[in-house]
Structure 1
Amino acid sequence: MKRRIIRIDEAACNGCGMCAAACHEGAIEMVDGKARLTREDYCDGLGDCLPACPTGAITFEEREAPAYDHAAVMAAKAAKSAPLPCGCPGSMSRTIQRTDDGVVSAGEIPSQLRQWPVQIKLAPINAPYFQGCDLLIAADCTAYAYGAFHRDFIQGRVTLIGCPKLDEGDYSEKLTAILAQNEVRSVAVVRMEVPCCGGILRAVQTAVANSGRDIPLHCVVVGTDGSLR
């Protein structure tokens, strides 16, 4: 059938992910750092995603497309909120808590993540969430080594992660562009104590120096035992 449906200009998309968050039907997903309409039958053609896009990459078009399938959308939403086969919930983070009487219960832990994507390689250079932000740049292992990572580091910050040993190339050029082209208030670096993790700190130090901006920089080192140095 021919109907109104959204069109995403991949060249204009900066990968901020705001449209995917605004799409209540789940028709848009982030693929390789770009927004894509992955389920045409989930798109209702109302365009809640349009005002969320900061670059104007999303427009309407009239073309042949599958009919909007409301039942499929509802089923997909229900599947996301249902427990997984292992018994784990599908849409919330939980922690096991032991009470005074020895009873173990599960409590929700809200995510403190404020934006997507988080990988340095996939992050856009310009995005609204960078303006006036406190930026966290972390080695990806740190979130696994330090249990309170969301509470103590992600909360209140825009987060970028990477691994200087596994990723090819140097982060400093892209980070320089992000710092030079956005009003970043401060930068916090969280790295592991292992020697190879020093590369992420050096990249940030180089980026701050080359950005032409006076940006406060603070570094925290996480030990392999989960302690802070």
Structure 2
Amino acid sequence: MIRKIIRIDKEKCNGCGACAVACHEGAIDMIDGKAKLVREHFCDGLGDCLPECPTGAISFEEREAPEYDEEAVKAAQMPKRPNWPVQIKLAPVNAPYFDGANLLIAADCTAYAHASFYRDFIRNRVTLIGCPKLDQVDYSEKLTAIIQSNNIQSVTIVRMEVPCCGGLETAVKRALQNSGKFIPWQVVTISIDGKILN
């Protein structure tokens, strides 16, 4: 069917991931550092992603595309593999829910600061949380083991803008480097008033 759907210009895309976060349907993924419309039948054509793109890489086009499938979107948004425990220091190194997971590693405070945290970050991801200031621990060794031992597809780090969250970001970056794997990753920073800064 011919319908309105988004188009992403790879040349203009800077890989910030803001559109993937803004897409409530989960139609966009980050692949090789660029945004890509990977589930055309999830794109409702309303364009929540457009105003979030800082480079103007997203536009609308009319073209042949599968019909928007609201039921498939709802089914995909249902948690398939809830993980427990979520604290980094308590999480197992190996677990079935890590297989093929898009991993979210978030600072404890982020879920309380950002009102739509589940919708924007947890949905379709396996979540681990921690606070290096309160736990007084370097998570990099544990996270390296998790990344090395499992088929992790991507890593999203969500931190607060405060300096103490730098320890979490550093630990995850070190773990990614020490794992020896090339995995797409991004850092999202939340302001103290709950806004996404990047």
Tell me the equivalent position of 1:183.
Answer: 151
Q: Which protein has the larger Cα radius of gyration, Structure 1 or Structure 2?
A: 1
Q: Considering only aligned residues, what root-mean-square deviation do their CA atoms show, in Å?
A: 1.5
2:166 to 192, 198, 202: 198
Give how far 1:141 is off. 0.1
Q: 8 Å contact 1:114–1:157 — kept in the other structure?
A: no
Q: What residue is the counterpart of 1:114 in the other structure? A: 82
State the TM-score, normalized to the length of structure 1. 0.51
Q: Residue 165 in 1 paired to residue 133 in 2?
A: yes
Q: Name which of 112, 121, 126 aligns with 1:153.
A: 121
User: Does the 8 A contact of 1:135 with 1:187 survive in 2?
Assistant: yes
- Structure 1: give runs of 5+ residues left out of the alignment: 1-109
SS in 1 for 2:157: strand
CA separation of 1:133/1:213 partners in 2, compared to 1, >3 Å: closer, same or farther?
same
Counting aligned pairs with the same residue, the percent is 62
Aligned residue for 2:194, secondary structure, equals coil
Secondary structure of the 2:180 match is coil
Which residue of the partner structure matches residue 127 of structure 1? 95
State the alpha-carbon separation in 1 of the partners of residues 137 and 122 from structure 2: 25
- Is residue 143 from structure 1 mapped to residue 111 from structure 2 by the alignment? yes
The 4+ residue runs of structure 1 with deviation greater than 4 A are 110-113
Between Structure 1 and Structure 2, how many residues are aligned? 120
Q: Is the 8 A contact 1:111 1:150 kept in 2?
A: no
Q: CA–CA distance in 1 between the matches of 2:194 and 2:136?
A: 27
Q: What is the CA–CA distance in structure 1 between the aligned matches of 2:160 and 2:139, rounded to whole Å?
A: 17
Bigger helix share: 2
Structure 2 length-normalised TM: 0.59
Give unmatched runs, 5+ long, in structure 2: 1-76
More relative contact order, 1 or 2 (CA 8 Å, 6+ apart): 2
